[in-house]
A = this chain, B = another copy of it.
């Protein structure tokens, strides 16, 4: 798609998109002129509109209504007509303030990011906690809860903490458990779940069992990365008039269940550096056709990465959404770099 439109057509398209996003109603030639003085008459606007419709940037809901942007129209708007402003400084300050208030915990950050994203964009937000594609073991502890019931706590290289409750065959004292973990810890350090599993057969009964469990836990942690997602602002998106409790809303709720929406979205999002926008029918998944997504990845390079974005109707304030997503992705990236990366060359 080239910017083959005249300057006037671009102005008109821009105004129509903005006006439609603002009001939610199809916009007509006359009302457009009444609101914005372009120095031309409605009739001229109409002929330009006709041209824009010809090229599929606009559409008619029905013969005698105003124009509505098509997905292609939105795309052009996002690509060429949007002056991508930074988020205003006061809002930046509000956001980073909130991140400073919350406890220093990766999951808390992700949750907060979801809340802020939703509140500021007025749409549904999605945030996956940052995960590494290959987790390596760092350290584990065995803690006797009572009798044969033992809690296994594992920490990975990336600082993920996972626990699981084990039922042992026989009762084992805390001392023995501590001795075992002290013996095994150096061995399993930096290993992947496959490597740990390979160690298991060679070990004695209890040690072998623990190694198996560790491998399971590590594998599970990796898998969770695929499905775990924090979503906020459902109320906002369900308020949108084009969705409003109808069948689309039902569809969306189903997609949110168990993170199913992620598996539709992820294949289409390259882990590129900047914000990505997917509008309506550009989605490969038909279920997402009524929606637009503004998303970005974040994370410490080569370590852990996550995804965050907002989901709303194609009629969404793209400019604002993009600034917000970009800024929060940057905040999250900085937080993670402080934890993982060696280089500290940024504020």
Instruction: Give chain A's interface residues, CB within 8 Å of chain B.
Output: 103-106, 138-139, 141, 143, 145-146, 149, 151, 153, 155, 159, 161, 163-167, 220, 232, 234-235, 238-239, 244-246, 249-250, 253-254, 257, 338-340, 342
What is the bound-complex CA distance between A139 and B155, given in angstroms?
Answer: 14
Closest chain B residue to A244, Cβ basis: B245
When chains A and B are docked, how far (Å) is the Cα of A155 from the Cα of B152?
10
Contact between chains at B159 and A342 (CB < 8 Å): no
Q: List 6 A-B contacts (CB under 8 A).
A: A104-B166, A138-B143, A151-B159, A165-B339, A238-B253, A245-B249
Residue pair B253, A249 in contact (C-beta under 8 Å): no
Partner of A151 from the list B146, B155, B245, B249 (CB cut-off 8 Å) is B155
B138 adjacent to A155 (CB under 8 Å): no
Q: Is A159 touching B141 in the complex (CB atoms < 8 A)?
A: no
The interface residues of chain B lying within 8 Å CB-to-CB of A141 are 139, 141, 153, 155
- Bound CA span A220–B104, Å: 12
Query: Which of B138, B159, B254 interacts with A235 by CB under 8 Å?
Result: B254
Check A104–B139 contact: CB distance below 8 A: no
A149–B238 contact, CB under 8 A? no
**A249: B residues at CB distance < 8 A:** 238, 245
For this chain, the copies found in one complex come to 2
Residue among A159, A164, A340 facing the most chain B CB atoms (10 A cut-off): A159
Q: With the chains together, A104 CA to B238 CA distance in Å?
A: 35
User: CB-CB < 8 A to A234: which residues of B?
Assistant: 234, 253
Residues of B within 8 A of A340 (CB): 145-146
Docked complex Cα distance between A338 and B339 (Å) = 38
> Which of A105, A106, A340 has the most chain B CB atoms closer than 10 A to its own CB?
A105
In the complex, which of the residues B138, B153, B159 contacts A161, with contact meaning CB atoms closer than 8 Å? B153
Are A338 and B245 within 8 A (Cβ)?
no
Is the CB–CB distance between B145 and A339 below 8 Å? Answer: yes
Contact B239 A250 (CB under 8 A): yes
Q: Please measure, in the bound complex, the distance between the C-alpha atom of A325 and the C-alpha atom of B12, giving whole angstroms.
A: 59
Task: Say yes or no: A149 contacts B339, CB within 8 Å.
Answer: yes
Shortest distance between the CB of A20 and any CB in chain B (Å): 23
Q: Are A339 and B146 in contact (CB under 8 A)?
A: yes
Contacts of A342 in B (CB 8 A): 146
Residues of B within 8 A of A104 (CB): 164-167
Chain B residues, CB < 8 A from A103: 164, 220
Within the assembled complex, what's the spacing in Å between the Cα atoms of A153 and B156?
A: 12
- A159 contacts which chain B residues (CB < 8 A)? 143, 145, 151, 163, 165
Q: Identify A143's interface contact among B155, B164, B167, B246, CB under 8 A.
A: B155
What distance in Å separates the Cβ of A159 from its nearest Cβ neighbour in chain B? 5
CB of A111 to closest CB in B, whole Å = 10
CA of A220 to CA of B146 in the docked complex: distance in angstroms?
Answer: 25
Given A106-B165, A249-B238, A139 and B143 contact (CB-CB distance below 8 Å): yes
Give the residues in chain B near A166, CB-CB below 8 Å. 104
**A-B complex: 6 closest residue pairs judged by Cβ atoms:** A245-B245, A235-B253, A104-B165, A161-B163, A151-B159, A149-B339
Closest to A163 in B: B161
Which residues of the partner chain B approach A254 to less than 8 Å between Cβ atoms?
A: 235
Known: A143-B155, A244-B245; 9 extra A-B contacts, CB below 8 A, are A105-B164, A143-B159, A146-B340, A151-B155, A151-B161, A153-B155, A235-B253, A238-B250, A245-B246
